[in-house]
Structures are given as C-alpha cells and as structure tokens.
Amino acid sequence: MGGGRLSGAGGDDVVVAAARAGDESAFAALVERHRGELRVHCYRMLGSFDESEDLVQETFLRAWKNLGGFEGRSTLRAWLYRIATNACLDALDGRARRVLPHHVAAPSDPSVPLPPRTDIAWLQPFPDRLWEPVEPSEEQPDAVVVARETIELAFLAAIQHLPPRQRAALILRDVLGWPAKQTAALLEGSVASANSALQRARATLKEHLPERRLEWARSAEPTEQERAVLRRYMDAVERADLAAVADLLAEEVRTTMPPYPMWFQGRDAVMAALTASWDAGSPGYVGRFRMLPTRANGRPAVAAYLRGLDEPAYRACAISVLRIEDGRIVEATAFHEPSLFPAFALPLALPSTDR
C-alpha cells in the first residue's frame, strides 16, 4: 500500500488536477472506486453497517475539503484509508464497544417471556454482496487483494475489546498489510509505539478469538453440505416443523437475537423457546415464517419474514447469520433490524401465499 506517486496509476494525476480545479464530478469518479473497500474498513473499525455508510461519506467530504493537501507522495488509496481511519477514531471517541447478547449476560431461561429491546450498541451484520473482494485492474495496480477478509462476526466481536487506536493498528498492519512506518505516521506516533500497540492488540485478540481460527478467517464459497442444511432449515421453519429444526441443530448450538438481550445455549433451550413461540394456541405465538437465502459476514444466512395472526403479508423480521459445521447449525445470530434488509437487496415485505 505504499508510497509510489500517482503518475502511472491509470492517469489519476490528471483527474486529481481536474478535481483540484473544482471539478466535483472528476473527484467523485476518482474516489467512488474505493467506496466498497472503505465501507468494509469502517465496518471493521466500528462494528456497525449503518455507521460505516456514514463514515465513508464523511471520508469523501474530508477528502474533498483537503484535496489541496494531497501531494501524491502516497497512493490516493492509502490517503483515503488514512482519512477514513481518522474519521473512525473520531467517531469511536468515548463510545462503548459494540457487543452481542452473549457478551453481556448469562444464557436466558426459555420459559421467561421475551424481554424488551434495549438501546445497547449491538454489532450489525454486513452483506456479502457489498464486500466480496474484486481483483485489481491494470488501472488500479495499487489495489492489493487482502489475503484474509477478516469480516467474520467472531473477529468483529473480538476486536471490539481493543481500544480504538490498537484496533486501528491491528487492522492496518494485520488485515491491510501496511508497513510499521506508515501505520505510525497515521497514528501520529513513533514506529516503536505503533509496534507496541500492535503487540498489545494481538495479545488481547488472542484472548477473545475462538480457539479455532477458522471461525473467523475468510470463508470460501458455501459447500454443498452447507447449502443443503440451509435449504432444510428454511423449509423446516416455514412449516414450523420442530422435529426437523431440532435435527439440524448441534447439541451445543447458541442462538442470539440482537437487539433483544436474551440468548439461548444448547439444543434443548432453543427448542423450548421455539415450541412456545410457534404454538398457535400459546400466548407467546409469533406467527408464521417465510425465508429467503442470503449471505452475511462470509457465512450462509437467511432473511426471515413474519406474518402474525390477521396480518395481510409477511413483514421483514430478521437477518440470521448461521455457522454450520459437520452438517449441523452450531450458531445462529438473528439480527432483528428490518432496516438492514435493503442493504441485502431484500424486500421489506412478502405477499401472503397461505391458503
């Protein structure tokens, strides 16, 4: 990611000159190619999809205002990453870390009614369609491909334990591959202090990451087994077939439902909760489901639509990110945020086909 000049980088120097002369369309064309990767960078820093969108806009605004100070000593891409990182550090100042329900409370009792939603800062999912890396083109020789797309929920949750500057040091060095000198310059410190921040970040991360690193390393395309489990799970939920769902869950499965603070550990607890909420004669009955497949954070996911009693259509309910191992679902994180559905290119409602 380093220090070559822009000349030769697809003629970007000419476009920069036009942008400096006040051509906003030239500037927009220049920075737009980096929107996707900057969105992912801000998401890693913040743990929030919504805020990552806002911070990319803030990055472009700051870049436009300070374009006169860009002298081409580094690549435009590195300059934008520097601005984005500083914007994220400003946004994180004084904020609580983002979490998932199992980070803040003990497992819930499935016999207890659903607690109210909370205003805790929860992690959010990220749609795969907006982060899948693109190979560099001849016009973008500086656009290196990140070898490890660390966007798994387990990784995002782990780095939330890091102070913002340590978080930045780790992402810049270990995820983006920046050299120590460049990272130190961004953090406005010495190489020694940047290296120290990185070492502390790595030590803390090791304490909070799953023992099996494959739980957060970049995922390959879903296997046929994963696709089959996903299809069976969607079908079982739509039919409210409790036995079929139970057969797909690992014995120690964990389910969480942010922004609801409750979570369940183990197949028995999960099935007890589902039994109550899927029983049409129960006071806790939620209704019927329709499911659509999607992907989030490098994992198979499903979009759940819910139709309550006497409701005319299925409304967007939750994006559930699944971790599947050995043909069983070992973790399901259901984000009950219908506002996220458009980011996944999903409708907010589905027509009722029930007879």
Query: Using one digit for the tens of pLDDT, what is the confidence trace for 99-131?
Result: 999 988 899 988 887 777 777 899 999 999 997
Same fold, 1-95 and 224-351: no
Measured between alpha carbons, how far is 220 from 299 in angstroms, rounded to an integer? 9
Q: Is 280 exposed, middle or buried (0-12, 13-18, 19+ CB in 10 A)?
A: exposed
SS3 category, 76:
helix
Tokens of 78: 């590195």
| 122-162 pLDDT tens trace | 999 999 999 765 444 444 333 333 334 478 898 899 999 99
Neighbours of 220 (CB within 10 A): 7
Cβ pair 146, 178 in contact under 8 A: no
pLDDT at 133: 53
Cβ pair 44, 171 in contact under 8 A: yes
Cβ pair 218, 148 in contact under 8 A: yes
pLDDT at 73: 75
Measured between alpha carbons, how far is 10 from 61 in angstroms, rounded to an integer? 23
Q: Between the CA of residue 31 and those of 28, 99, 128, 208, what are the distances in Å?
A: 5, 31, 21, 35
Please identify which residue in the block is written with the tokens 């087994």.
Answer: 225
Measured between alpha carbons, how far is 331 from 76 in angstroms, rounded to an integer? 40
Residue 113 preceded by cis peptide, ω within 30: no
Cβ pair 340, 318 in contact under 8 A: no
- The model's pTM is 0.88
pLDDT at 148: 43
Measured between alpha carbons, how far is 142 from 77 in angstroms, rounded to an integer? 8
pLDDT at 8: 31
Please identify which residue in the block is written with the tokens 């990319």.
Answer: 56
Measured between alpha carbons, how far is 180 from 333 in angstroms, rounded to an integer? 36
pLDDT at 256: 96
- CATH fold of the domain at 1-95: Rna Polymerase Sigma Factor; Chain: A (1.10.1740)
Tokens of 199: 């070492």
Segments making up each domain of the chain, as ranges = 1-95, 224-351
Cβ pair 330, 251 in contact under 8 A: no
Q: Residue-wise pLDDT tens for the chain (355 aa)?
A: 333 333 334 456 777 777 777 778 888 888 888 999 999 999 999 999 999 999 999 999 999 998 877 877 778 889 999 999 999 999 999 888 899 999 888 999 888 877 777 778 999 999 999 976 544 444 433 333 333 447 889 889 999 999 999 999 999 998 888 999 999 999 999 999 999 999 999 999 888 887 765 444 445 677 889 999 999 999 999 999 999 999 999 999 999 999 998 999 999 999 999 998 999 888 889 999 999 999 999 899 999 999 998 899 999 999 999 999 999 999 999 999 999 999 999 999 999 875 4
What are residue 202's phi and psi, to 5 degrees?
-65, -40
Tokens of 196: 């120290």
Q: What residue ranges in the chain does DSSP mark as E strands? A: 249-256, 263-265, 288-296, 299-307, 313-325, 328-335, 349-351
Supply the CATH classification number for the domain 224-351. 3.10.450.50
